[in-house]
Amino acid sequence: MPRFTYSARSRSGEKMDGVVEASDKRAALMQLERLGLVPVSVKEAAAGAAPPAPAKNQAKSPAKPAGKPAPAKGKAEKPSKFQMNLGGPRAPRMNMRETLFFARELSDLLSSGMTLGNALHTLARRKTKSDQDRIVVELRDEIIKGSSLSEALTRYPETFSNLFVSMVRAGEASGAVNEALGRLVKHYERVLEAREKIVGAMIYPAIVLIVGVLTIVFTMTFVIPKFSVVFAELGATLPLPTRILIGMSNFMIAWGWLLALVVAAGVVFTKRYIRTDAGERRWHGLMLRLPVIKKIVTANAFSQFARTLGALLTNGVPVLQALSIVENTVGNRLIAEEIHNARERVTDGSTISGPLAEGKVFPELLTDMLAVGEEAGDMSGSLAHIAQRYESDLDRSIKLMTTVLEPAMILGIALGVGFVAMSMLMAVFSLTSGLNV
């Protein structure tokens, strides 16, 4: 039988070298995994290599390391430059896009036949110069110590949500972690796609607004004062719009700093207020009352509800637990509270269309489609159709918002610039007519 030389690390982080007999390289990797080792390199030994040491000796007394045992790469004791602050070390975290890439790469490695420990070790060797390096290293170390992946993920609640952990735990119970990670990848891709649609739709209106405001500020602080000096030297009586415009310019020059300070303080106060329970409820309630914004918020929340709940149920998560997780993913406080109330009204643990319909927040179309899926025993398929339906509504609502918002902003800026231009022209015409007389 072929022999393979290996270099690995034990659960304590010590480096170990040795030889194992296996039918192929993959079998050698699996044998090392059963021994509780994380392979660093495995190569087929040349003919005449030393016979392999007994497995018992390998597990208890590793081969003599070269010098002092080296800790695993990317050890957690070394803080990053962002952690040296007066508030203590900052917990590492990944954003949603980094979490998506991590789940996709881990799923691909597991689908190729690699064991979980080897897959995490492979990812740990990749250096991204971000918090992802430390998180992956610590996840690998937890797996080596005997923890499950779902248990290790709970150490980073700011990175891995309850949805992520629950789906991985369900995948571990069914023996298909790679499939659970694949569903998570699709889920995060759809969430990011919805966010990018909304952000992309706001880019052009934001540019128009910024350019328009800067143009008006420049005109009021640099152009109007030059004209006001000329008008004052001529000593003529100016039209009312011109006097209003010059007064606004003088106020902006004298108190513009105070106006900017008040606006900045208002923005900061509003953000802090929205983070409170009462502020969040009022803000999210306002979003559900604005004509165009309401359609975007509800379509996004309902599609997110259907996608997340469908993924959890497909992965084997119980209905009540799935509803508890979905409650934190819809993005609107009032809709989340309605899901919580519906969860409290669920009695048989499976039928949820009735309790959702009682709250009058979820539309009849959604609850009716869900009821059909419950009767047919295919809630996951019904939820997939619901998600597609409201994702289409989200696209149409975003297009409608941009169609309405862009001309409205352009019209508002045109009125501001037009008022400045007409005020100046009226003053020039008044002075010219006075000179002709």
- If asked whether residues 202 and 163 sit together in one domain, one would say no
* Band of pLDDT at residue 61, cut at 50, 70 and 90: very low
Among 155, 187, 219, residue at a domain's last position: 187
Question: Between these two residues, 49 and 127, which has the higher pLDDT value?
Answer: 127
What distance in Å separates the CA atoms of residue 41 and residue 164, rounded to the nearest whole number? 31
- If asked whether residues 174 and 204 sit together in one domain, one would say no
- If asked whether residues 177 and 206 sit together in one domain, one would say no
- Assign 207 to helix, strand or coil: helix
- If asked whether residues 368 and 313 sit together in one domain, one would say yes
Structure tokens at 37: 């080792």
Neighbours of 217 (CB within 10 A): 13
Per-residue pLDDT at 87: 44
In a domain, 80, yes or no: no
- If asked whether residues 274 and 330 sit together in one domain, one would say yes
In a domain, 85, yes or no: no
Structure tokens at 408: 């409205």
Which of these ranges, 33-37, 186-190, 253-257, 369-373, has the smallest mean pLDDT?
Answer: 33-37
Which of these ranges, 69-83, 109-123, 353-367, has the smallest mean pLDDT?
Answer: 69-83
- If asked whether residues 245 and 378 sit together in one domain, one would say yes
pTM of the model: 0.63
* Band of pLDDT at residue 12, cut at 50, 70 and 90: low
Per-residue pLDDT at 261: 93
Decide: 18 and 53 in contact? Cβ < 8 Å: yes
- 164-200 burial string, b = 16+ CB within 10 Å, else e? bbbbbbbbbeeebbbbbbbbbbebbebbeebeebeee
* Band of pLDDT at residue 65, cut at 50, 70 and 90: very low
Per-residue pLDDT at 52: 45
What distance in Å separates the CA atoms of residue 121 and residue 13, rounded to the nearest whole number? 12
What distance in Å separates the CA atoms of residue 45 and residue 49, rounded to the nearest whole number? 6
What distance in Å separates the CA atoms of residue 246 and residue 265, rounded to the nearest whole number? 27
Per-residue pLDDT at 48: 52
Specify the DSSP class assigned to residue 44.
E
Asked if residue 76 has pLDDT above 90, the reply is no
Q: Which residues are CB-contacts of 312 (< 8 A; sequence separation ≥ 6)?
A: 163, 166, 167, 170, 321, 322, 325, 326
pLDDT (tens digit per residue) in 156-187: 888 888 888 888 888 887 777 888 888 888 88
In a domain, 233, yes or no: yes
In a domain, 192, yes or no: no
In a domain, 291, yes or no: yes
pLDDT (tens digit per residue) in 262-281: 999 999 999 999 888 888 88
Per-residue pLDDT at 347: 61
Share of the chain above pLDDT 90, in %: 2
Q: What phi and psi values does residue 3 have, to the nearest 5 degrees? A: -115, 145
Per-residue pLDDT at 343: 82
Question: Between these two residues, 244 and 402, which has the higher pLDDT value?
Answer: 244
103-110: average pLDDT = 88
18-40: average pLDDT = 74
Asked if residue 51 has pLDDT above 60, the reply is no
- If asked whether residues 175 and 218 sit together in one domain, one would say no
Question: Between these two residues, 367 and 58, which has the higher pLDDT value?
Answer: 367
Torsion, CA 146, CA 119, CA 189, CA 208, rounded to 10: 110
Average pLDDT, the chain: 78
Nearest residue to 39 via CA among 125, 104, 101: 125
- If asked whether residues 222 and 292 sit together in one domain, one would say yes
Among 125, 158, 187, residue at a domain's last position: 187
pLDDT (tens digit per residue) in 179-200: 888 888 888 888 888 788 778 8
352-356: average pLDDT = 83
In a domain, 63, yes or no: no
- If asked whether residues 395 and 435 sit together in one domain, one would say yes
Owning domain of residue 116: 93-187
Total structural domains within the chain? 3
- If asked whether residues 312 and 214 sit together in one domain, one would say yes
Specify the DSSP class assigned to residue 11.
T
Decide: 15 and 9 in contact? Cβ < 8 Å: yes
Which of these ranges, 295-309, 340-354, 371-385, 391-405, has the smallest mean pLDDT?
Answer: 340-354
Per-residue pLDDT at 53: 45
In a domain, 423, yes or no: yes
CATH of the domain at 281: 1.20.81.30
- If asked whether residues 206 and 339 sit together in one domain, one would say yes
Per-residue pLDDT at 272: 92
Asked if residue 60 has pLDDT above 50, the reply is no
Per-residue pLDDT at 262: 93
In a domain, 81, yes or no: no
Per-residue pLDDT at 85: 42
Q: Which residues are CB-contacts of 365 (< 8 A; sequence separation ≥ 6)?
A: 389
Decide: 334 and 281 in contact? Cβ < 8 Å: yes
- If asked whether residues 167 and 229 sit together in one domain, one would say no
Residues in the chain: 437
Angle at the Cα of 71 from the Cα atoms of 67 and 75, rounded to 5 degrees? 155
The CA–CA distances, whole Å, from 23 to 3, 20, 28, 151, 250 equal 8, 10, 8, 33, 87
